[in-house]
Amino acid sequence: MDMTAIRDFAVETARAAGALLKENVGKVNRIEFKGAVDIVTEVDRKSEELIMASIRKSFPAHGILTEESPEVKQDSPCKWIIDPLDGTTNYSHGFPFFCVSIGFEVEGEVRFGAVYDPMLDELYTAEKGKGAFLNGKKIKVSAIDELGRGLLATGFPYDLRASKDNNLDFFSQFSLKAQAIRRAGSAALDLCYIASGRFDGYWEMKLRPWDVAAGSLIVEEAGGRVTDFSGGRFSIYGKECLASNKLLHGEMTRILSNK
pLDDT in tens, 133-153: 999 999 999 999 999 999 999
Tell me: do 130 and 181 sit in the same domain.
no
**Would you tell me the crossing angle of helices 187-195 and 209-221 to the nearest 10 degrees?**
0
Tell me: do 188 and 237 sit in the same domain.
yes
pLDDT in tens, 205-235: 999 999 999 999 999 999 999 999 999 999 9
Mean pLDDT of the chain: 93
Instruction: Provide the CATH number for the domain around residue 190.
Output: 3.40.190.80
Which pLDDT score is estimated for 17?
A: 97
Sign of CA dihedral 145, 146, 151, 152: positive
pLDDT in tens, 42-63: 888 899 999 999 999 999 999 9
Query: ∠98-242-236 over CA atoms, to 5°?
Result: 70
Domain termination site, one of 110, 138, 166: 138
Domain of 60?
Answer: 3-138
Predicted TM-score (pTM) of this structure? 0.94
Tell me: do 112 and 16 sit in the same domain.
yes
Question: Residue 37 above 50 pLDDT?
Answer: no
Give the span between the Cα atoms of 218 and 192, in whole angstroms: 7
Tell me: do 156 and 95 sit in the same domain.
no
Task: Please give the backbone phi and psi of residue 15, each rounded to the nearest 5 degrees, phi first.
Answer: -65, -40
